[in-house]
Amino acid sequence: MPEEVTRFLAPRPGGIYVDGTLGGGGHSRLILELSSPSGRLIGFDQDQEALAAAKSILATYGNRASFVGRNVSAIASVMTELGIEAIDGLLLDLGVSSHQLDTAERGFSFQQDAALDMRMDRSASLTAAELVNSSSEDELTRVIRDYGEERWARQIARRIIAARLESPLETTGQLAELVSRAIPRKAWEERIHPATRTFQAIRIAVNDELGSLQRCLQDTVPLLKSGGRIAVISFHSLEDRIVKQFFRDKATGCRCPKDLPVCACGGTPVLKVLTSRPVLASKDEIAANPRSRSAKLRVAEKC
């Protein structure tokens, strides 16, 4: 959603912007172009392959672009390290990247059989294989139910426990087949593979995606200049719900009981929500990139 993102972020010369999910560097390039000649961009990506690719793509912008090989949840400490007291905007394009999905050995997809990995940061210790082979039935059920919104979570967890008693689960193909057998054929949905939600859940757990999102949002608000903006693109309901609720909470002023005649809490809004409803990808973008069909953009501005 490049046009929508840049319209809301409105990059300008001299501004300081953070791309919390560099990926292929497409959004960052637009921000740098629109903030020329003096705008600055700090790009985060915990995936070292993505970081290296973005550095190459954005090399022509010289020292206007800085790169951080960490999760964006570390934004507060990184800004302190860089000597930056305030920023004009933050962009988060959440979820797994197309490159990660399409690179079989990363283990994010069941389209090709590969080792169960799913780490965005390949130096992290926890892999998908370790999670599915060491978690209890209750923990697996919680992960698959809460992060995948999968109604068959308990049955899938039991299948995993039974299968790993014979031998550890090691590949995406093994897990996808096991999940497919755990869900009754009549309950399969037409448009998505039966293992989709389970793979999503395990990926989120391995990378602590929801916790990282919450920490990043919380720590970014104090860094924003007045009029600075947070733009978040999410791809599933869990992320979107967190962003929506966070923006709503920060846009709420007084929290006193309604029957109290005078405000006693002194609460004032910190953010102003600019998108009463999420902005969706255009038909043209969906036609060119089908993965964008589930994208939702929400934006808020610092008061």
Task: Clarify whether residues 200 and 215 are in a common domain.
Answer: no
pLDDT more than 70, % of the chain: 100
Flag whether 113 is marked binding.
no
pLDDT at 140: 98
SS3 letters across 206-257: HHCHHHHHHHHHHHHHHHEEEEEEEEEEECCHHHHHHHHHHHHHHCCCCCCC
Q: Phi and psi dihedrals of 228, rounded to 5?
A: -70, 155
Q: Is 46 labeled as ligand-binding?
A: no
Whether the per-residue pLDDT at 258 is higher than 90: the answer is no
- 162 has pLDDT over 90: yes
In the chain, how many domains are there?
2
**Is residue 236 located within the same domain as residue 283?**
yes
Give the structural domain span for 185: 101-207
Task: Decide if pLDDT at 145 tops 80.
Answer: yes
CATH number of the domain bearing residue 290: 3.40.50.150
Residues 195 and 215 in one domain: no
Q: Was 45 annotated as part of a binding site?
A: yes
Q: Which of 161, 176, 207 is the last residue of a domain?
A: 207
Q: Which of 207, 230, 249 is the last residue of a domain?
A: 207
Q: What is the CATH number of the domain that holds 139?
A: 1.10.150.170
88 is in an annotated binding site: no
Same structural domain, 107 and 186: yes
Q: What's the mean pLDDT in 8-18?
A: 97
pTM of the model: 0.92
With bands split at pLDDT 50, 70 and 90, how would you rate the model's confidence at 204? very high
Specify whether 57 is located in the same domain as 144: no
In the predicted structure, residue 266 carries a pLDDT above the cut 80: no
State pLDDT tens for residues 112-130: 899 999 999 999 999 999 9
| Alpha carbon separation from 215 to 73, 91, 250, 278 (Å, rounded) | 5, 15, 14, 21
Assess whether pLDDT exceeds 90 at residue 157.
yes
105 has pLDDT over 90? no
Of the pLDDT bands very low, low, confident and very high (cuts 50, 70, 90), residue 35 is: very high
Note the pLDDT of residue 232.
98
7 and 45 part of one domain:
yes
Annotated binding residue at 69?
A: no
| Model pLDDT, residue 184 | 94
Q: What is the pLDDT of residue 110?
A: 85
| Domain co-membership, 191 together with 228 | no
Instruction: Tell me, yes or no, whether 79 and 37 share the same domain.
Output: yes
Kindly tell me the burial class for residue 189, based on how many C-beta atoms sit within 10 Å of its own C-beta (0-12, 13-18, 19 or more).
exposed
| 86 pLDDT tier (thresholds 50, 70, 90) | very high
Query: Domain check: are 71 and 147 in the same one?
Result: no
Domain identity same for 79 and 224: yes
Q: Return the number of other C-beta atoms located less than 10 Å from residue 40's C-beta.
A: 21
> What pLDDT, in 10s, does the model give residues 51-73?
999 999 999 999 999 999 999 99
Q: Is 26 annotated as a binding-site member?
A: yes
Whole-number mean pLDDT of the chain? 94
pLDDT at res. 256: 80
Contact (Cβ atoms closer than 8 angstroms) between residue 107 and residue 161: no
Q: Quick count: other Cβ atoms within 10 Å of Cβ 70?
A: 14
Same domain for 18 and 64, yes or no, is yes
181 falls in which pLDDT band (50, 70, 90)? very high
Reduced to 3 states (helix: H, G, I; strand: E, B; else coil), residue 296 is strand
pLDDT of residue 108: 84
Q: Which of 207, 223, 250 is the C-terminal boundary of a domain?
A: 207
Same domain, 118 and 151: yes
